[in-house]
Amino acid sequence: MRPLSEQTILVTGATDGLGRALVGELALEQFLGQPVHLAQLGEIGAYHLDPRLVAERTQLGGVAAVGQHARAPGGHERLDVLVNNAGVGTGRDPSRREESHDGYELRFAVNYLAAYHLTRRLLPLLRAPARVVNIASAGQQEFSFTDPQLRRHYSGAAAYMRSKLALVMFTLDLADQLDGSGITVNALHPATFMDTTMVRESGRIPVTAVADGVAATLRLVAGEDVEGETGRFFDGDHEAPPHPQARSPKARERLRRLSDELVTDALA
C-alpha cells in the first residue's frame, strides 16, 4: 500500500455523520505532516478543510448526476481509496415510500445503485494497490427480485436493510471480478446506531459514538493488517458472515444485471 501521504481518497456522503468525521480525521493527517489528497462528493456547506480538499456539489440520488461527477477527483489521474458512504436511513416517516430523481425507490437508489454506478465509472482510475470500502450495515434483509422497488408492503426499515444487503452483494461480486488485480473491495458495518442525524431522525437512541465507526472505517482504508483482504464483510473491527443471499453467485449475477438495466434506463 502506498504511504497515506501519497494517496488520493474519495469519500461520498461527507456532509454529516460518519462521512464528515472520516474526512475530518483524514484531513487531520495533513496537520501531522502527512498531506492527504482528499476528494469529496456531497455538499459540505461551511465545512472547510485543506485547500486540497475538492468539494463537489451533487446529490447521489440520481444516476445521471453520479455519472457527471465520476471523473478524476480534483484533477488527479489516479484514485487510491473509494469510500462509498453516502446513504439515507429509514426516514422520519418509515411508512412513506420515496423515489429518487430517476423514479427508483430512494433507499435502493442512494444506498446501493449510486454506489454501484459510481464505482463502476471510477474503476479505470483505481490503480493497484487500491481499496474500495462500502459502508453497509449488519441489518440486512433478503433482496426481492420480484419487487426490487418495494412497491408492495413498503417499510423504511425493509427498504434500508435490502439496500444494504444489495451493497454487500455488490462488494462480493466486484471482489471476485477484480481478484488478482491488486484492488480490494470490502464492506463494513462501522458501528451500531451511531450518534448521527440519520439515527436520531429514525427515533432511535444512539448507542455508539461516531468515532467508533471512524476507527473501523480507517482500518479498512489504511490498515496494514487488512492489506490484501478482499470480498469480506466486517462488523466493526472483525469479520462477520453476511446474509446468506450475498454468498449466492446466481443472486449476485442477477442483481448485477438488474443494476446495469436500471442504470441504462436512467441514462436513456
Amino acid 33: pLDDT: 58
Query: What are the per-10-residue average pLDDT scores of the chain (268 residues)?
Result: 79 85 80 61 38 38 65 69 91 91 93 94 93 97 98 96 98 98 98 82 82 95 96 97 98 98 92
CA dist., res. 59 & res. 20, Å (int): 16
Query: What is the pTM (predicted TM-score) of this model?
Result: 0.89
Cell numbers standing for residue 210: 461516531
Look-up of cell digits 446474509: 243
For residue 145 the three cell numbers come to: 427480485
Q: Are 162 and 50 in contact (CB under 8 A)?
A: no
* pLDDT on residue 263: 94
Residue 64: the pLDDT is 67
Residues 6+ apart with CB under 8 A from 168: 134, 136, 140, 187, 233, 242, 243, 246
Structural domains of the chain sorted by starting position, each given as residue range(s) with its CATH number in brackets? 4-267 (3.40.50.720)
DSSP 146: S
Nearest to 136 by CA among 158, 169, 114: 169
The phi-psi region of residue 100 (left if phi > 0; otherwise alpha if psi is between -120 and 50; otherwise beta) is beta
Asked whether the beta carbons of 251 and 143 are under 8 A apart, the reply is yes
pLDDT at 52 (0 to 100)? 34
165 vs 207: CA distance, rounded Å = 22
Question: Looking at residue 54, what is its pLDDT?
Answer: 36
Angle at 47 between CA 127 and CA 210, to 5 degrees: 75
